[in-house]
Structure 1
Amino acid sequence: MQAFLDLVGAGFLSLMGFIGLNSELMGRYGLRFLDGVWVTLQLVILSVGLGALLAWPLAIARIEGGKLLAGASFGYSYFFRGTPLLAQTFLIYYGAGQFREALTEVGLWWFFRDAFNCAVLTFTLNTAAYQSEILRGAIQSLPVGQMEGAQALGLTRVLAYRKVIVPQAFAIGLRPLGNELILMIKSSAIASVITVYDLMGVTRLAFSRSYDMEVYLWAAALYLIMVEIVRRVWDVLERRLNRHLLVSR
């Protein structure tokens, strides 16, 4: 991985120098920017992946959970979608410090004292709320006959969800899930306010030492590159998973 990052770093520095950016500034901070990109990718991949694992139970609870579970799932989604991600990040990162003794007693302070861990936890809880709503809508958009047909074949309700409902709902919700991933890439910049040296964190550090606004141009370009890569990969994935719909048209 380090050899790959070094190779990408050399290419990045060459490209930036070729298009006429400040070579001295690039020489000082160019590789640190790539380290920031790597931290951003880790942050987004972990939070979106863990959020997806949490989103499915939340979505199904809204549909199948009865008043108690459906109400709890709705309350969770309502809170995390209705409050700013920045406020949520502060609540977990700074709020954990108020309970340091209790967290130390249960052996969790090692987790909450790390800003990166707090950012991953916050982003996971936040994106799970959005993903659960996307998946709930996708499940409810399926014809009722899908579940009835699965049960008529002898599948239990759990197996029907696993074998029939979930795969179709995922395919339907693929595009909005891709949009959520892109939003998380851009929202991950919030982690920089709690001293996580992601791409925006490195940008702020470089600006505080150089006072050169060009570093924000680099950051914008790198965010745009990440978003464009995700968009293109998602287009390919969507075409592959939904090719039966294209054929039917």
Structure 2
Amino acid sequence: MISTHYIPPQPAPPAVRAKWKGKRIAGVTVLSLWILGAIGLAAFLIASWDPELVRRYGPNYLSGLWITVQLVVLSALAGAVLSVPIAVGRNSHNRIAQALSYGYVYFFRGTPLLAQTFLIYYGLGSFRPQFEAVGLWWFFRDAWYCALLAFTLNTSAYQAEILRGAIAAVPRGQWEAAAALGLPRSLTIRKIILPQAMIVALRPYVNEIILLLKGSAIVAIITVFDLMGETRRAYARTFDFQTYIWAALIYLSLVELLRMSTEKIEARLTRHLKRS
């Protein structure tokens, strides 16, 4: 016979209560420091606000921001296209295709993006006669195109692993159910597997784009006047440290915009799961 007597919850041991109290104090302390830092930064920006500086360099910041957005968006899209055959090669039963895809991913994920950018911008410049002979020197002599190529190759390796992992996360039963219905493999992938994989891959994809956005600041080193390039030029002319603070706030705003957009897209894609 099952007892129906109510058993009141037992209080936590003193050691556990002390641990929880310590964590709450630490959390409140860290939050307070963040708030004080934000207030201090806001006070500094208000006190050092220079309308002339904004009027003079504001248009340059907007121009650099546009170059940054172009570079990130185009490289992310091109990398997404290139990641598909790489992910297919990683899952292929062909050993040659598997080895080539693995080597590609291993190299571009295992070396710094800055080194890859230098390798393309400075290294391939050594082959100017060969590129001129085939009519490609116009591409490799431009720092922006070299940065675009480096970013595309780098992000395609990461996106290939994200795509491969997302497809692997789809339950095997989905493949078996589609096969039982007699659906072609191409239709199975397009209508059943990829929609589910995209839900799994959404946040990793956006995290990769955020890393790409923050990493794009390195192109200022190879004379591309993106947002960071214009910031460096403004600081070189004014020696005003707030030029870097404004650049940091712009990058932070872009990251926050991506984060909020991701939450809305994810809520839209998973609305059927919440209803069930």
Question: For 1:179-202, what per-residue CA distance to the aligned partner results, in whole angstroms no more than 9, with x for missing partners?
Answer: 111111111101111111100000
Secondary structure, in 3 states, of the residue corresponding to 1:196? coil
Listed as ranges, the gaps of 5+ residues in structure 2 are 1-44
Question: For 1:194-234, what per-residue CA distance to the aligned partner results, in whole angstroms no more than 9, with x for missing partners?
Answer: 11110000011111111111100010011011111111111
For residue 63 of structure 1, report the CA deviation from its aligned partner: 1.5
Which residue identity is paired with 1:167?
P
The whole-number CA distance in structure 1 between the counterparts of 2:179 and 2:168 is 17
Residue of structure 1 in register with 2:207 after alignment: 179
CA distance 1:186–1:23, change in 2 (3 Å): same
TM-score of the aligned structures, taking structure 2 as reference length: 0.80
Residue of structure 2 in register with 1:38 after alignment: 66
For residue 67 of structure 1, report the CA deviation from its aligned partner: 1.8
Secondary structure, in 3 states, of the residue corresponding to 1:154? coil
Secondary structure, in 3 states, of the residue corresponding to 2:49? coil
For residue 151 of structure 1, report the CA deviation from its aligned partner: 2.3
Which residue identity is paired with 2:255?
V
**Runs of 4+ off more than 4 Å:** 17-20
Residue of structure 2 in register with 1:72 after alignment: 100
Moved more, 104-113 or 52-61: 52-61
Determine if the alignment matches structure 1 residue 86 to structure 2 residue 114. yes
Residue of structure 2 in register with 1:48 after alignment: 76
Residue of structure 1 in register with 2:88 after alignment: 60
The whole-number CA distance in structure 2 between the counterparts of 1:205 and 1:243 is 47
Secondary structure, in 3 states, of the residue corresponding to 1:155? coil
The whole-number CA distance in structure 2 between the counterparts of 1:242 and 1:69 is 35
The whole-number CA distance in structure 2 between the counterparts of 1:159 and 1:46 is 28
Question: For 1:100-159, what per-residue CA distance to the aligned partner results, in whole angstroms no more than 9, with x for missing partners?
Answer: 111111111111111111111110110111111111111111111212222222223233
Residue of structure 2 in register with 1:191 after alignment: 219
The whole-number CA distance in structure 2 between the counterparts of 1:65 and 1:118 is 34
Which residue identity is paired with 1:240?
R
Which residue identity is paired with 1:119?
A
Pairing 1:130-145 to 2, within 5 Å after superposition: 130-145=158-173
Pairing 1:88-127 to 2, within 5 Å after superposition: 88-127=116-155
Secondary structure, in 3 states, of the residue corresponding to 1:21? coil
Structure with larger Rg: 2
Which residue identity is paired with 1:233?
S
The whole-number CA distance in structure 2 between the counterparts of 1:21 and 1:81 is 42
CA distance 1:40–1:230, change in 2 (3 Å): same
Residue of structure 2 in register with 1:156 after alignment: 184
Q: CA RMSD in A?
A: 1.5
Residue of structure 2 in register with 1:147 after alignment: 175
Which residue identity is paired with 1:75?
G
Selected match of 2:233 from 185, 205, 210 = 205
Aligned length: 232
Secondary structure, in 3 states, of the residue corresponding to 2:182? coil
The whole-number CA distance in structure 1 between the counterparts of 2:274 and 2:204 is 18
For residue 99 of structure 1, report the CA deviation from its aligned partner: 0.5
Secondary structure, in 3 states, of the residue corresponding to 1:98? helix
CA distance 1:19–1:125, change in 2 (3 Å): farther
Selected match of 1:229 from 232, 251, 257 = 257
For residue 18 of structure 1, report the CA deviation from its aligned partner: 7.0
TM-score of the aligned structures, taking structure 1 as reference length: 0.89
Selected match of 1:28 from 52, 56, 75 = 56
Give percent identity, aligned residues only.
Answer: 55
Which residue identity is paired with 1:159?
L
